[in-house]
Amino acid sequence: MLSVGNTRKGMGEFKVHRVRFFNYVPVGIRCVAYNHQSNRLAVSRVDGTVEIYNLAANSFQEKFFPGHEGRATEALCWAKGQRLFSAGLNGDIIEYDLEKMSVKYSVDGFGGPIWSMAADPSGSYLAIGCEDGSVKLFQVSPDKIQLERTLERQKGRILSLSWHPSGTHIAVGSIDYIAVLDAKSGSTTQKMLMDKRHPGSQRRRCVVWGVAFLSDGTVVSTDSAGMVQFWDSETGTLVQTHPLTSSDVLSIAVAEKEDSLVVGTAEGTIFHFQLIPSRSDGKQSQWVRTKPFQHHTHDVRSVAHSPTALISGGVDAHLVIRPLMEKVEVKNYDAALRKITFPHRRLISCAKKMQLLLFQFPQRLELWRLGATDAAGKNEDILPLSRNAEHLLQLKKKGPENICCSCISPCGSWIAYSTASRFYLYRMNYENNSVSIKRVSKLPKFLSSAFQILFSGDSAMLYVASNQGSLHVIQLLEGSLKHLHTFQPQSGTSEAISLLAVSPDGNWLAAAGMSSGVSIYNLKHLKPHCMVPAYNFPVTALAIAPNTNNLVIAHSDQQVFEFSIPQKQYTDWSRKVQKHGLHYLWLERDTPITHITFHPKRPTHILLHDTYMFCIIDKSMPLPDDKTPLFNQLSLREASENVRRRHAHAFKISKKFQPLLFMDLLDEGTLVAVERPLEDIIAQLPPPIKRKKFGT
């Protein structure tokens, strides 16, 4: 699993630990909900995790609520502007606090497990479909939701639900039928029975997985027979049938303009339907299935339709944003297909001196010691291991909540992790080949939970970003803790901190909020130092360089800034980069930079990586312009010295390690790269629906 090899010349030679034993499997997506107002996408996963993606900011995963064993979300919706609700099989409706990054409250629906939920077009009512066949209306008040009325109870669980755009009627899908309910009176106005005659199989029940109510009164349904059907809700008649697959059609989403809709099937295909005038001059239009897209291998559990893209997510954990070419104004990078598989957070921390890696899984932590080699080799050689990598420790989470963040101290003797409500700190002892672990039990009361945990470079201090935006500075002593200070957020804001960085000398601490800028604190005097000028895009990675104390910030729009902390201003190099502009290929990268580090001996180098590349920025080299090739490392290696000098530029990029989840410099000449090949993930998923392929 581990190999040690040398990497290329232009970047300097490194021994690379290639780690492939991070056994991370992303959790399948259950729901996606698109918010038009903020252009954000909420995604809930099978384990209850809820993530918020900002589509305007390069689809960056801005926020994340860790999962909970008892909270299997079945439905997710936005209401009243930008309030996010979820409902699940435990029968509760949960509202999330998007500022404080916590669950605001949860309300019991009193109808058994909740299968579906939808907000009315004005956003002031929530309708939930329950196991017992009832549809309940909740009124959304500014800080609470309140049961308003229970509509006429149906037979069988309500699996899907959709409001008429006028808010007067609700279409509900159950097993074998669709019903239309009057939201005012609560009575059933129409009931439409599904055809139970399946082609091929004997009487199986037809499950209506999704309904969509259009403003002209048409109800679109998707069902387990593989059909998309258009019903007239006035007369209760079937207008149009589109048999799509032999498996289930699981999800449906309609564009706001109602001229296009998207459905997702259990075979991993999504189909696009468009309302197309049958004659160019006439008024008659018909729904036509236009294009199929196959980006998933497994069930597409949920789809969403933004004005310019089709969004789908499913069991294979890919979030796919497929732009509609005809809707995109300019053919820029936004017009490209996007497939998000890995979280935009760091799941791995590293104790450099001890050569330890701490892997964070939703349910557990794993501590590994890297292998070692005695051999030396040429470029690109794979070196034999003299000692294999060692799994030292596994820490299982306690309680139903998933792990939110974790960190190992640089010396390797402390491990801290946190769930949404508890904070854990452990003291490690390494004796020869055995590891002993001891929990630090006496934690101060305010350390109830954390969003970010960071140890100082000498492992003497612990920085914890807690809720309400407070930042605790704690001194670590042998066996006990000493609380030094708490930085409170700037007046008015209570936004959670998403990223922390400390300078190697321990004097400066930088903290980035979810959407606000980066604040810098002076740790010597324990007071705020300054703010980095605000920037529109969220921060994806932060690091403070040794010696110079320059703060390097990567944003989700792929810009990189360097900010001098002592001088409280951007450095000259950063200004030069902004003036010159970054290479277009650099700006068109898919994934955000998740980690930045520095070379101790080469102050001009900045090392950073995203999921598909590893880059060393040499500040002393000229910047590339759009005409020069950005990825020229391989071609330059063969070229003569002269050519190499002429074409070399500041960005030295290696794409050898993919998909790269973590990369760090262990010492001057050693890198550690953690890869997670997609095939290994697919191998751990359940087998997909087998489809006959012609010619096989």
Partner 1 sequence: MVAEENLRVVRSGGSKLNFRRAIFSIDSKYLFCVSGDFVKVYSTTTEGCVYVLQGHSNLVTGIQLNPQNHLQLYSCSLDGTIKLWDFVDGILIKTFVVGCKLYGFFAPVHLEDSVFIIINKETPDEFQLASMKLPKSPSQEVEVKELSFVLDYINQSPKCTAFGREGQYVVAARDLYLSVYFFKKKKTFRFSLPSESKKNCNNIFTCVACHPKEDCIATGHQDGRIRLWRNFNDNRNYTYTSLHWHHDIVMDLAFSVEGTSLLSGGRESVLVEWRGGIEKNKEFLPRLGGTIEHISASPGGDLFCTSHSDNKIMIIHRNLEVSAIIQGLVKDSIVNTGLMIDPRTKALVMNGKPGHLQFYSLQNDKQLYNLDIIQQEYVNDPGLVHIELMKAAFSSRGNWLATVEQRQEKEAELELQMKLWEFNEQQQGFILNTRINMPHEDHITALCFSDIENSETPSLVTTSKDGHFKVWILTDDSDIYKQAMGWTCDFVGSYHNYQATNCCFSEDESLLAVSFEEIITIWDSATWELKCTFCHRPGKIKNLCFGRQTCSKYLLGTTEKSFLCCWNLLTCTLEWNVQLNVTVLEPDPNSDNIAAVSWFSGGSDLFVFKPSEPRPLCIQKSICREKVQCAVFVPRDVPESFISEDYQWLNKSQFYFLNESQDLMTFSTKSPEEKLTPTSKQLIAEESLPTTPFYFLLGKHRKQQETKPDEVPEHELIYHPSATDIPAISELLQTPAHVLPSASFLCSMFVNSLLISKGTKSAEEVPDEVEMESEQATDDSDEENNISEIAQNAINDTDIGDEIPQISKTQEKTLRKLRKVDYSWMCAL
- Residue 33 as a binder of partner 1 (CB under 8 A): the answer is no
* Pairing mode, strands 15-19 and 670-675: parallel
- Residue 696 as a binder of partner 1 (CB under 8 A): the answer is no
Q: Reduced to 3 states, what is the DSSP secondary structure of residue 572?
A: helix
> How many residues of this chain bind partner 1 (CB under 8 A)?
17
- Single out the residue of 23, 187, 215, 278 in contact with partner 1 (rule: CB under 8 A): 278
CB-nearer residue toward partner 1: 291 or 524: 291
Distance between CA atoms of residues 176 and 208, nearest Å:
7
Distance between CA atoms of residues 28 and 498, nearest Å:
24
Build a one-symbol-per-residue string for 342-371: x at contacts with partner 1 by CB under 8 A, - elsewhere: ------------------------------
Contact 381, 362 (CB under 8 A): no
Burial of 217 (0-12, 13-18, 19+ CB in 10 A): middle
Q: Which stretch binds partner 1 (CB under 8 A): 212-220, 241-249, 361-369, 422-430?
A: 241-249
Contact 108, 149 (CB under 8 A): no
Distance between CA atoms of residues 409 and 428, nearest Å:
10
* 266 alpha-carbon distance from chain centroid: 23
Distance between CA atoms of residues 230 and 178, nearest Å:
11
- Residue 277 as a binder of partner 1 (CB under 8 A): the answer is yes
Structure tokens at 291: 């294009």
Structure tokens at 391: 């799994």
Closest distance to partner 1 from the beta carbon of 199 (Å): 9
- Type of residue at 4: V
CA–CA distance from 489 to each of 102, 405, 468 (Å)?
17, 20, 8
Q: Which stretch binds partner 1 (CB under 8 A): 143-151, 282-290, 419-427, 641-649?
A: 282-290
CB-nearer residue toward partner 1: 196 or 291: 291
Distance between CA atoms of residues 338 and 318, nearest Å:
10
* Dihedral sign (CA 27, 30, 36, 37): negative
- Single out the residue of 37, 283, 326, 480 in contact with partner 1 (rule: CB under 8 A): 326
CB-nearer residue toward partner 1: 227 or 532: 227
Q: Which stretch binds partner 1 (CB under 8 A): 285-293, 295-303, 427-435, 506-514?
A: 285-293
- Residue 568 as a binder of partner 1 (CB under 8 A): the answer is no
- Single out the residue of 36, 291, 524, 646 in contact with partner 1 (rule: CB under 8 A): 291
Closest distance to partner 1 from the beta carbon of 218 (Å): 17
- Residue 307 as a binder of partner 1 (CB under 8 A): the answer is no
CA–CA distance from 356 to each of 15, 362, 666 (Å)?
16, 20, 10
What's the start-to-end Cα distance of the chain, in Å? 34
The contacts of residue 410 (CB under 8 Å, 6+ apart) are 351, 352, 353, 455, 457, 458, 459
Q: Which stretch binds partner 1 (CB under 8 A): 54-62, 237-245, 562-570, 631-639?
A: 237-245
Structure tokens at 450: 């954390």
- Residue 288 as a binder of partner 1 (CB under 8 A): the answer is yes
Closest distance to partner 1 from the beta carbon of 210 (Å): 19
- Single out the residue of 203, 279, 579, 627 in contact with partner 1 (rule: CB under 8 A): 279
**Could you tell me which of 252, 302, 326 has the C-alpha nearest to residue 41?**
302
**Could you tell me which of 115, 185, 108, 119 has the C-alpha nearest to residue 150?**
185
CA–CA distance from 628 to each of 642, 646, 647, 649 (Å)?
16, 11, 8, 9
- Single out the residue of 37, 201, 202, 280 in contact with partner 1 (rule: CB under 8 A): 280
Distance between CA atoms of residues 639 and 649, nearest Å:
14
Closest distance to partner 1 from the beta carbon of 230 (Å): 12
Closest distance to partner 1 from the beta carbon of 280 (Å): 5
Closest distance to partner 1 from the beta carbon of 221 (Å): 16
- Residue 243 as a binder of partner 1 (CB under 8 A): the answer is yes
Under DSSP, the state recorded for 401 is: B
CB-nearer residue toward partner 1: 280 or 433: 280
Closest distance to partner 1 from the beta carbon of 574 (Å): 40
Backbone angles phi, psi at 621, to 5 degrees: -90, 160
One-letter-per-residue 3-state SS of 476-519: EECCEEEEEEEECCCCCCCCCEEEEEECCCCCEEEEEECCCCEE
- Single out the residue of 136, 242, 301, 529 in contact with partner 1 (rule: CB under 8 A): 242
CB-nearer residue toward partner 1: 324 or 356: 324
Q: Which stretch binds partner 1 (CB under 8 A): 79-87, 214-222, 239-247, 487-495?
A: 239-247
- Type of residue at 171: A
- Residue 337 as a binder of partner 1 (CB under 8 A): the answer is no
- Residue 142 as a binder of partner 1 (CB under 8 A): the answer is no
Contact 260, 291 (CB under 8 A): no
Q: Which stretch binds partner 1 (CB under 8 A): 18-26, 41-49, 126-134, 238-246?
A: 238-246
- Single out the residue of 191, 289, 387, 575 in contact with partner 1 (rule: CB under 8 A): 289
- Single out the residue of 122, 166, 290, 536 in contact with partner 1 (rule: CB under 8 A): 290
- Residue 274 as a binder of partner 1 (CB under 8 A): the answer is yes
Closest distance to partner 1 from the beta carbon of 36 (Å): 21
Q: Which stretch binds partner 1 (CB under 8 A): 127-135, 190-198, 242-250, 479-487?
A: 242-250
- Single out the residue of 1, 193, 276, 376 in contact with partner 1 (rule: CB under 8 A): 276
CB-nearer residue toward partner 1: 282 or 479: 282
Closest distance to partner 1 from the beta carbon of 238 (Å): 13
Q: Which stretch binds partner 1 (CB under 8 A): 183-191, 289-297, 454-462, 665-673?
A: 289-297
Neighbours of 686 (CB within 10 A): 10
Question: Exposure pattern of 161-186 as b/e (b: 16+ CB <10 Å)?
Answer: bbbbbebebbbbbbbbbbbbbbbeee
Closest distance to partner 1 from the beta carbon of 307 (Å): 14
One-letter-per-residue 3-state SS of 306-329: ECCEEEEEECCCCEEEEECHHHCC
Closest distance to partner 1 from the beta carbon of 491 (Å): 50
What residue ranges bind partner 1 (CB under 8 A)? Answer: 242-244, 274, 276-280, 288-292, 326, 694-695
